[in-house]
Amino acid sequence: MSPYGAVVARLTVNTAAYMLARSVLKGGGVAKRVEARKPFGGCRVYGPYGNQGKRKIVHVLRPDGTRVGMDYGRYLMQVHLGRFLRKDEHVDHIDNDPSNNGLVNLQVLSPSENRRKDSRPAAMLDLVCPECAGAFRRERRNVVHKGSKRAFCSRSCAAKFYHKRRRALGSMV
């Protein structure tokens, strides 16, 4: 038994992910230590840690004594591939669920591919201009801007509307 209450085991690359996933279900808040071979030979790995529904992390204690925290999915992919991932390689969850760290749900993407996958189409609204009564479409995030409650089809319609309003208010004074 280690001082942290977990069994230290030498694991093959194939069983490291299974044992770490199983230790999450059993251990609660107790630090779990596993020594993995490739590419973390000589390192001690503690974890994974994290709440349900959030990303899990592992702590890697290197032989020189430095401690590195990393995303659990990234760690699993590095163990699976048997090499360290470059900084320009992102590990992506295929089903977009950060708590699902199964190897069949993880893929390595470039940063641009990852951004493209995560981008959602903008929510569009069908509106009617209060000045010209013309129909137009606008992204929902651009409809209310700086406290304005009206959406116009163009800047010229907005200027005409507010010019008429200013003129009407000026004649009342």
Mean per-residue pLDDT for 75-91?
A: 91
* Domains in the chain: boundaries: 13-86, 124-172
pLDDT of residue 77: 92
Name the pLDDT band for 107 (thresholds 50, 70, 90): very high
* CA–CA separation, 96 and 134 (whole Å): 40
What are 136's two structure tokens?
Answer: 């137009």
- C-alpha distances in Å from residue 142, one per residue of 39, 130, 145: 48, 16, 6
In Å, what is the CA distance from 166 to each residue of 100, 149, 152, 169? Answer: 58, 17, 17, 5
Amino acid 119: pLDDT: 73
Model confidence band, residue 34 (pLDDT cutoffs 50, 70, 90): low
Beta strand extents in 40-82 (DSSP E only)? 44-49, 57-61, 67-71
The pLDDT of residue 33: 61
